[in-house]
Amino acid sequence: MTGSPLLALRGISKRFGAVQALKDVELEVHPGEVVALLGDNGAGKSTLIRVIAGVTPADTGVIEWEGRVVQIRTPHAARHLGIATVYQNLALCDGLDVAENLFLGQERRRPGVLGRLLRQIDKGSMRGEARRQLDALGIRVPDVRAPVAMLSAGQRQTVAISRALLGRPKAVLLDEPTAALGIQQAGHVLDLIDELREQGIGVILISHNMGDVKAVADRASVLRLGCNNGFFHVPTTPQDRIISSITGASGSP
């Protein structure tokens, strides 16, 4: 893609004791681009996501955000820049309703004394904003007052993604968002990823499903044993060529 990348990783390395999890990894994501991060189990995908999210800072290397070098050493620092992460376990609270889950950790207080001194939650405002957010993204959740435990797996996934978008991020990291979903539910999540691209948000997508990758990704970056093993333009690259890079049958093109 032309223009400066939104996010760029240069020579990222990370070691855990004797294990070299990442070595000199490069990655770029542009605004409105979906980049699939691919590789077998243990390739370093989740470690790289945690580096970007500030959960596990890199040992060496440079992270550039909108053209300037930044330090991302905490999740708060990542969120402050505009990076949101949706992990595979979703981290939703089954006993809370949809709106409460969307605002978990950033609840709105009622105006005036009730909110300032008594710290009462403004559930009406939260539910109204949750409804607007879900409608804007085309997410089908019948009632924002429904407990998350009552939702389907696909609906839970879209709620988790919607929660990540409340802070108006510029980049979203998605870890296996369609894992364990049926075909129709996965389709809803892929539609949502397309919507994020249309909004100009950069997306990094971890997935083992090559059908999903072919459906939504613009480019693919393959990791193998913690190192880059190929960069591909997804729409024009045969699927078997990408799979060969994942398995180690071929190196970078």
| pLDDT, tens digit, 9 for 90 and up, residues 21-64 | 999 999 999 999 999 999 999 999 999 999 999 999 999 999 99
Whose CA is closest to 99, among 124, 119, 116, 79? 124
Rounded average pLDDT over 195-210? 94
Q: What pLDDT is recorded for position 253?
A: 43
Is pLDDT above 50 for 252? no
pLDDT tens-digit map of 130-181: 888 888 777 778 788 989 888 888 888 888 888 888 888 999 999 998 887 8
Rounded average pLDDT over 192-200? 92
pLDDT tens-digit map of 52-107: 999 999 999 999 999 999 999 999 999 999 999 998 777 788 888 999 988 887 77
Number of residues written out for the chain = 253
Is pLDDT above 70 for 118? no
Q: Could you tell me the residue ranges of all domains in the chain?
A: 7-82+169-247, 90-152
* CATH no. of 7-82+169-247: 3.40.50.300
